[in-house]
Chains A and B, each alone.
Chain A
Amino acid sequence: MEPLNALVSLSNFMLIPALAYGSQLALGALGITLIFSILRFAHFAHGDTMALGTAAVIGGTLFLQAQGITEPFGLPTALLAIPFGLLVMIAYLLTADKLVYKYFRKVKAKPLTLVMASLGVMFVTNGITRLFMGVGETRFEDGNRFLFTVREFRDFTGLAEGMALRSAQALTIITALVVMVALFWFLNRTRSGKSMRAYSDNEDLALLSGINPERVVMITWTITAILLVLAGTLYGLDKGFRPFNYFQLLLPMFAAAILGGLGSPIGAIVGAYVVAFAEMGITYAWRRVFTYLMPEGLEPNSMMQLLPVDYKFAVTFAILVIVLLFRPTGIFKGKVL
């Protein structure tokens, strides 16, 4: 039973949280990579836009709760508010594009000018989010918080170690899977998706074959909005909503996109899980797992934690540096402009 206990303990404290975190990052990194391959700039407002989308969902949740419409089938009310968040976010991003980015596209500004513009949008978005939500933490998770708890699992299996599966985590993993499949179906099978890929591959050729660039851009922002709202809501359900944490997600999301190869959707997903598992694995205290696995008398007497949790950015950064040094185009050969 010892290896089984080790596996259960590992799943509970590392594998499941990392899988959920990786799924949240993947949705975000997909957005970054899409914007990068279509609009060709690094979207710095990503984290803050995600926060605003989540804020809209929280607003919707509060409204629904006030109306007495709560917890569909024991699931979080926020799920019902997601369509509202989507509408707000799509409208917001399209407006931002019309007011800000469109002009720079028209004058064919350098990519870094667009990045600067996204800094401006970041400030504005950040301000709006804080106007509504303040800077403190908001928790909006309701419904049945656990699919099964540690105690239930222990009673059921008779193991010494327990494992819990929170509904937020399960929801995250399932949603991410569904969204990824849908996105790949869209990119590979539909006319709009194909025109997006064509535009990203060769802008001039795509224009010649009659693809409307503004339509492609609009679709890109819409998809990004969907990804952002889902990623943000799931992250918020899982870990609570704090605007600054969303800003800080920028680094792991970018790291994931670069690691997988900027501009490659499959790369963004793989990169996100690599970043998530590395972050959790290196800051995880392995003591319990090793206590089960090592023979009697050889149990570790330290925490067996490679780095304190405060340094999870350092892990992301180290991965990034290694990729930049050895494979600047990322795992899946992204674009090098």
Chain B
Amino acid sequence: MSLTARDLGLFAIMFAVLAMVAMFQSPQLAVTILNMSLISAIMALGVNMQWGYAGLFNVGIMGFTAVGGLAVVLIAQPPIPEAWAAGGLGILLGLMLGVSTILASVIVYKRMTPSKMRGLAIFAVLVVGYLLTSYVFGPAKQAVQAVNPASEGYLGGAGLPVIFAWPVGAVFAAGVAWMVGKVSLGLRSDYLAIATLGISEIVIAVLKHERWLARGVNNVTGIDRPVARPIELQPLPWVQSLAETLGWSVSQTASVVSGLGYSALFIFVLAILIWLAERALNSPWGRMMRAIRDNEISARAMGKDVTRRHLMIFVLGSAVCGLAGAMMVSMDGQLTPGSYEPLRFTFLIWVMVIVGGSGNNWGAVLGAFVIWFLWVQVEPAGRWFMEIVTSGMADGSDLKQHLLSSAAYMRLLTMGVALLLMLRFAPRGLIPER
């Protein structure tokens, strides 16, 4: 693979910094940063495919990761028979009716000649379809949500092992991406940006509002985890002896071991993805993609179907984001739709890709590590900075309180400055494309 000594050096520095966190702050923090960096690296890989290979501007990463997270609930949670009995069929039928309404109006649009009649016919189809759908769907939804609302109130999942949810999350995200891409690709490049911005807000709105699906803002917690929990590890003899050798407390050792279990899984996935991505990038297909990115018109003249290739790479990249979203939810063991924020889940990933080096897979990975590390560490650093700034002020003064409490927002500022500096002085990123 194409890593120079300089790139390896940059990665080495990054890991040395993480090791220092483990030594001087706490090993748990280092493992948490490592795991989230790995997940961010996978998201950044997905975005890099879209932006770096093909020049597609996707600002809906949050939506695709959330859809991937939904897959975890739908796959790993046990089904709730009472809810299914109460309204499962109605919900399925309602969804089918909704989809067939849209399909029917598309058919009417395609089959009829353009005229006033066609407009009226489509309108009629939509109205009838809407009424039918809400007639079936509404009561079923109410019934499901009424089943034991304090802890359930949703249909549950398929009760399968949680690891299956990862590929399913990728497929979910790919499906959403296909629909968005089909509509907005082939038009101006900015349109994809706006369309993805819209779909990500809608995905979050659906997750928050449709309680029958994944409990909405009530969150689904206690999802099965692929790795043993710290509490399960604590009584094991080898964990206890390890704690003794390291001189740590048993609970600390257990949580580090559990975290490293996730790291191993994530590294495995990341390694496969990087291998595939590098192979793809250096294949004729990858060269074609870059040719399209660099000069669409001449690629078109060479007989490449630019729109279809764009759709393909857009779906692939979004699937990778969905995979990462599923991995994140299964690590947290909970789906909390309220915690999805565009700044954190869309724009931060963009900073990672730009800082790391767009068009280079290793760059995206390094960018993810660097930026996530900054994201975590800038907050305490900001507080420390504010404490120094305010140390001369009288205790309890309003200004001091305000400055101290607003230290948390320093990280947004830092991210923006990092992005702007990179764009200005090193637009090709830490590890440039080659």
Contact = CB atoms under 8 A, between A and B. Distances in A.
Interface string B170-201: 00000000000001100111110111011101
B2 to A, nearest CB: 25
A305 to B, nearest CB: 10
B198 A328 contact: no
Interface residues of A, number: 49
Interface in A292-337: 306, 308, 310-311, 313-314, 316-317, 320-321, 324-325, 328, 336-337
B420 interface: yes
- Chain A interface secondary structure, helix, strand, loop or mixed? helix
A150 B350 CA distance: 49
A103 B57 CA distance: 21
Interface string A100-118: 1001100000011101110
A124 interface: yes
Contacts of A127: 409-416
B202 interface: yes
B183 A321 contact: yes
Contacts, number: 126
A72 interface: no
B423 A113 contact: yes
Contacts of A308: 209
A255 B57 contact: no
Contacts of A121: 416, 420
Interface string B89-100: 000000000000
B347 interface: yes
A320 B427 CA distance: 32
B34 interface: no
A247 B344 CA distance: 13
A130 B410 CA distance: 9
A51 to B, nearest CB: 12
Contacts of A250: 197
Given A103-B424, A116-B354, A251 B201 contact: yes
B406 interface: yes
A134 interface: yes
A123 B347 contact: yes
Given A103-B424, A116-B423, A121-B416, A328 B191 contact: yes
A255 B188 contact: no
A314 B205 contact: yes
B79 interface: no
B413 A123 contact: yes
A248 B412 contact: no
Contact of B415 (A123, A310, A328): A123
A131 interface: yes
Interface string B50-76: 000001010100000000000000000
A258 interface: yes
B409 A131 contact: yes
Given A112-B55, A124-B416, A320 B194 contact: yes
A3 interface: no
A263 B351 CA distance: 28
A325 B180 CA distance: 12
Contacts of B409: 127, 130-131
A128 interface: yes
A325 B183 contact: yes
A317 B198 contact: yes
B233 to A, nearest CB: 37
Contacts of B304: none
A111 B188 CA distance: 11
A75 interface: no
A306 B138 CA distance: 12
B342 interface: yes
B399 to A, nearest CB: 12
Contacts of A262: 190
Nearest to B201: A313
Contacts of A112: 55, 57, 189
A258 B415 contact: no
A40 to B, nearest CB: 10
A45 to B, nearest CB: 9
Nearest to A112: B57
Contact of B416 (A113, A123, A255): A123
B200 to A, nearest CB: 10
B188 A328 contact: yes
Contacts of A255: 194, 198
Contacts of A90: none
Nearest to B193: A42
A316 B197 CA distance: 11
A254 B413 contact: no
B343 interface: yes
A118 to B, nearest CB: 10
A59 B416 CA distance: 24
A288 B55 CA distance: 50
A251 B57 contact: no
B400 interface: no
Given A123-B343, A124-B420, A311-B205, A324 B195 contact: yes
A217 B130 CA distance: 48
A119 interface: yes
Contacts of A248: 201
B413 A310 contact: no
A122 interface: yes
12 contacts: A113-B427, A116-B423, A119-B350, A123-B419, A126-B412, A127-B415, A130-B406, A132-B406, A251-B197, A314-B205, A320-B198, A321-B183
Interface of A: 42, 44, 99-100, 103-104, 111-113, 115-117, 119-128, 130-132, 134, 247-248, 250-251, 254-255, 258, 262, 306, 308, 310-311, 313-314, 316-317, 320-321, 324-325, 328, 336-337
For the complex of A and B, 9 pairs with smallest distance between CB atoms: A123-B416, A127-B413, A124-B416, A127-B412, A317-B198, A120-B420, A120-B419, A130-B409, A313-B201
Interface of B: 55, 57, 59, 130, 183-184, 187-191, 193-195, 197-199, 201-202, 205, 208-209, 342-343, 347, 350-351, 354, 405-406, 409-417, 419-420, 423-424, 427
